[in-house]
Structure 1
Amino acid sequence: MRRINGVLLVLVCCLGSIAAQAHPGGYEHDMAPEMLRIWHNQATGQTVTGAFSHMRKDTVYVQGKRGLTAIPLSQLAPSDKRFAQGISARIHQLNASLFAEVTEPQTSTTAKRPAAAAAFDAFAPKVKTRWDERTLYVESDGLPDHPLMVGITSWQQQVPLPQSYTGSNAWRVPLRPVPAANPLSAKTHFFRGAIALAANGIPIFNALNNRGADSFLIGELDEFGGHCGRADDYHYHIAPMSLQKMVGPDKPIGYALDGYPLYGLLEPGGKPVGKLDAFNGHETPALGYHYHATKTYPYINGGFHGEVTEIEGQVDPQPRAQGVRPDTPPLRGAKITAFAQPKPGSYALTYTIQGFTCKINYRLEADGSYTFDYVSPEGKTVTINYPSRPRGGGGGQGSGQRGAGGGRPQEHPAPEIIPAKPGDFQLTSSVVANGGSLPVDYTCDGSSSSPPVAWKSAPAGTKAFAVIMHHYPPGEAEEPHVYWMIYNIPVATKTVPLNDRAIGERGVNTVNRRAQYAPPCSQGPGKKWYILTVYALSDEVKPDSSVSRGVTRDALLAAMKGKILATSVLNVSYERQSQKP
């Protein structure tokens, strides 16, 4: 009985952690708000707020305020569909193992060394391999030996930290890959986590980020095809071709997580590659099925020819990365110019933005914590110490984009520590400074008033203004939460007063889908950051509102494309009063 109770406890905990990723609830109910999610029926246009109950015969049942609602799986929005399938798969997986023995992977000392292990030999002893009859286990610290980060022009403010991909948290490569009955494409699946492992022990993620954009084409990657995710975990999004210098032209540069090898641009021996399938793979008499790198999308394996299990949008199982810092929003206009490791456990990153040079210096302390020095252009330093990472949890592989990354919520400096120069186009507020804490009156814990904002020094040729307030939530949200949008603000206007509802035109927020200010009310403990941006436009805009009930942020940004003369950002934070200890 003790064995069964232990597994049931695991089931309950896993389902609780899955449900905690849902959207916050919007009504009083006996169910905890973190268990709720807004489900979208694309066929009817209706939404249902509730928690996942179960799935039967391709129908999802949602437990809401008025009981169970049945929604055909095929009619759910893609993100809701992936969410339901992930929970259902996890339940089946846990139930199947209810009476099974739970043990750590056991490696063999007598089994014949698999040929796949040779691909990682060039990077030993930093990269270690072990194996059993079915699986090759690969251990690494998650940091490559080549230069990092330089050349990134679309940066999420994340930096490389060592990861513990060891023991039961090692990478797993199947030694007996099995062709899938229904191969899955990376165009529609696997937007989280790794889909392959490079020969140097560094994970390779989907070439598309979690918004479906090509990470390479939009400037998110460094000169070696990598960047850091929400847990400050380094990974690639394209094939790391530089590794061929170490492994040799005849060996794979990595393995997909279905067990099939990934080779370079040519076949072993230097022969040209024949026709590839949609996943960048093909079969030859010498090698059987294998993938190839390409210079254009999908760059790597564009999906899986072999069998894999997808849970919550990623291949399962796979290691968990562990972060120490809270997530931060993108730093628009920044370019990373240098990254160095002055000594073991010490790192230095340099970036430029708007003509200024800023630095982030960080180091591992003796107690396992990390100390970060955020250095402003004037040389002023803000020092933050982040406690050591908890064992056995946190983190989580991601798409390399926004999210919590396992970092526990703590105060950290404003996302942009850049002083305005005289004459700069500048957004300000009389109630909060850039990097300051938003007063409670402007949140759901207060009177929910919209804050007053003002701007000055608009560039010549400005004909209108727009203001957007948004927030990147932790977790796997693919789009930011939008709280406030005003556009076609007359050029003579230099301020939006407190609680104003008359100036300009309003777009809809993502909180209640209304054309009004939605006060910050983010769930979970810790400080959250909100970004207010003012846009100076060369003309008024006419956003498309035909695809939604009102003008959305995407529609407004599309309408402003080519008309933005300048922008200015005001970063503010807020910590829910009711969740403070």
Structure 2
Amino acid sequence: MALSSGRRCGAASFVLVVMAQSIGWAHPWHRHHVETPSTEQRAADHGDDLRQPEVGDPRFVLVAAAKPVRAQPPDIAAAFRPFEELKAIACRSDGRYFYVESNGIPDHPLMVGIRSWQQQVPLPQQYVGGNAWQIPLVPVPAADPATTRNRFLRGAIALAVNGIPIFNPLNNRGDDAFLAGELDDYGGHCGRADDYHYHLPPVHLEKQVGKGRPIAYALDGYPIYGYEEPDGSRVKNLDRLGGHEDAAGNYHYHATKAYPYLNGGFHGEVVERDGQVDPQPRAEPLRPALPPLQGATIVEFASPAANTRRLTFNLGGRKGSVSYTVGADGKVTFEFRDPTGRTSTETYAPRGRGEIGGRPPRREPPPGSQSGSARQPVPAGAANLAVTSPAFKAAGPLPVEFTCDGAGLSPPLQWAAGPPGTKSYAVTLWHEAPDQVKSYWVVYGIPPTVRSLPKGSRSIGTTGLNDKRRAEYDPMCSKGPGVKTYQITVYALSAAPKLAAAEATRDALLDAIAGSTLAAGTLTFSYERGGR
């Protein structure tokens, strides 16, 4: 795929031609030597001892003040050029945007140091063509700059100069991903689509691009520098977004050693859609997402063969591993080895955009996982629970009164009695998007004698938090076209879950009931915005 005509990252005489497949599969497993930071260095880099900006001494001018001349902003093409020359990325631009193509795999050790692991591994992504990263060439200051605190919790907020996206330092639950132990030695981890990304500023890139050069660009078009000014001086007077103007009037952000770590919002104009900056590329999942493996720590990420990677984890003093090989056709074969030595193998093939790759029936789940692609904590042998609604049929459309276009009431539900020993029921309403599971309704602590919820129920059980962190039913309000599928799952439990009201999300509920689920059943329905 030849890059389209237009201004290039490199010299005018240099024309770069990159095949999409080479971006996706050829370069990602090549490693340049990068020194791994020690535990002490990580603590120093991301500790709480960041000095606060100081106000400089006043200066007196003995000549008439001249009208300031605004210098040219940093050259965005030059910032990305070191990695373009390494063929790790490809760049182009038009009159509005600077485009960066990459495979989403950086050239440094991955995943080691993670103490809270979702069982995802780094797989090459196709951030190419119409799915490339785009950054405004001319950023426009926003009339009302947007913060990233509890906003923009999906997708990237910046792009590192090595082509790796940088997500909000707060994860999709609003927690500090670094403090939660979710990040590796370089401040990154993998999302639900096995897409590697950073949550911390990649200050280690200064070793390759040089001190005083941008290490990333926010998606509003402004550069992000390291812990020092481009001239090596100390950073002073950062605003609430972690940025400021230089002497020439050019705005930029800085990495910091405490929250917000990088741009804490957007000084420039951005469009927010579905909780993320829009537009931006999509990471395509090859396989269903897996649940966290509680207590595991990743201790090694090795390359035993050219296209094979092996991730090793420690769980309870014993080691397990996930080995996977990427084929020339894009198929990926996984071998899971749990700490007891049991192994299982799965193969996934890429399909069209938005589809999860096919796989053979699974005989045994990977270590620590549950069956299903959306974290259903149903142990082997658990009974099936019949779930119905008097308002709609299974797999049928959801009536408008239960959506944002109607009254926005929660739908009525009914379910069969749980097995003997049932002490409580819980309910979740969720939708699996390509890159995440969205949660709209959580109810737990439902008494064992109750086998239904009426329309608009509020007084039965305890209502947990939806994705907006509100203890209420969140009516479906899809902004995208087409029919979407949703699920309501009811759990019969051997004990009432113990959850703090302020943390009672769907994920927290699933963690709490992982060992007490006697039976579960799911009612599937469809919804299309504007449908009746």
- TM-score of the pair, normalised by structure 2: 0.65
- How far the C-alpha of 1:191 sits from its partner, in A, is 1.5
CA distance in 1, matches of 2:126, 2:456: 38
- How far the C-alpha of 1:381 sits from its partner, in A, is 1.8
Q: 1:237 aligns with which of 199, 224, 231?
A: 199
Does 2:209 correspond to 1:247?
A: yes
Matches within 5 A, 1:155-170: 155-170=117-132
Amino acid at match of 1:434: P
CA distance in 2, matches of 1:304, 1:577: 39
CA distance in 2, matches of 1:315, 1:146: 27
What secondary structure, in the 3-state scheme, does the structure 2 residue paired with 1:160 have?
A: coil
For residues 429-483 of structure 1, the C-alpha deviation after alignment (integer angstroms, 9 at most, x for no partner) is xxx982457535477779833433769xxxxxxxxx9886768742355558546
What secondary structure, in the 3-state scheme, does the structure 2 residue paired with 1:357 have?
A: strand
Matches within 5 A, 1:344-359: 344-359=306-321
Amino acid at match of 2:113: G
- How far the C-alpha of 1:129 sits from its partner, in A, is 1.7
Does 2:221 correspond to 1:265?
A: no
For residues 166-221 of structure 1, the C-alpha deviation after alignment (integer angstroms, 9 at most, x for no partner) is 12211112221111112111114312111100011100011112221111111111
What secondary structure, in the 3-state scheme, does the structure 1 residue paired with 2:432 have?
A: coil
- How far the C-alpha of 1:141 sits from its partner, in A, is 0.7
Amino acid at match of 2:432: P
- How far the C-alpha of 1:135 sits from its partner, in A, is 2.2
Does 2:252 correspond to 1:290?
A: yes
2:16 matched residue in structure 1: none
State the number of aligned residues. 410
1:71 matched residue in structure 2: none
Unmatched 5+ stretches in structure 2: 13-73, 370-376, 395-412, 464-482, 527-532
Structure 1 pair 578–288 and aligned structure 2 pair: CA distance change class (3 A) = closer
Q: 2:384 aligns with which of 412, 417, 439?
A: 439
Assess if the C-alpha contact under 8 Å between 1:484 and 1:509 holds in 2.
no
What secondary structure, in the 3-state scheme, does the structure 2 residue paired with 1:177 have?
A: coil
Assess if the C-alpha contact under 8 Å between 1:325 and 1:410 holds in 2.
no
CA distance in 2, matches of 1:237, 1:110: 26
Matches within 5 A, 1:289-368: 289-368=251-330
Structure 1 pair 160–442 and aligned structure 2 pair: CA distance change class (3 A) = same
Structure 1 pair 139–542 and aligned structure 2 pair: CA distance change class (3 A) = closer
Q: 1:501 aligns with which of 442, 446, 449?
A: 449
Amino acid at match of 2:203: M
Does 2:79 correspond to 1:119?
A: yes
Amino acid at match of 1:246: Q
Matches within 5 A, 1:167-246: 167-246=129-208
CA distance in 2, matches of 1:341, 1:443: 49
What secondary structure, in the 3-state scheme, does the structure 1 residue paired with 2:345 have?
A: strand
Percent identical across equivalent pairs? 43
- How far the C-alpha of 1:408 sits from its partner, in A, is 7.0
1:108 matched residue in structure 2: 7
CA RMSD of aligned residues (A): 4.6
Amino acid at match of 1:252: P
1:47 matched residue in structure 2: none
- How far the C-alpha of 1:272 sits from its partner, in A, is 0.2
Structure 1 pair 351–108 and aligned structure 2 pair: CA distance change class (3 A) = same
Structure 1 pair 195–387 and aligned structure 2 pair: CA distance change class (3 A) = same
Amino acid at match of 2:415: S
CA distance in 2, matches of 1:134, 1:262: 20
- How far the C-alpha of 1:153 sits from its partner, in A, is 1.8
- How far the C-alpha of 1:534 sits from its partner, in A, is 6.8
- How far the C-alpha of 1:415 sits from its partner, in A, is 6.8
- How far the C-alpha of 1:346 sits from its partner, in A, is 1.6
What secondary structure, in the 3-state scheme, does the structure 2 residue paired with 1:371 have?
A: strand
- How far the C-alpha of 1:316 sits from its partner, in A, is 1.5
Structure 1 pair 577–274 and aligned structure 2 pair: CA distance change class (3 A) = closer
Amino acid at match of 1:119: A
Amino acid at match of 1:107: G
1:3 matched residue in structure 2: none
For residues 39-67 of structure 1, the C-alpha deviation after alignment (integer angstroms, 9 at most, x for no partner) is xxxxxxxxxxxxxxxxxxxxxxxxxxxxx
- TM-score of the pair, normalised by structure 1: 0.60
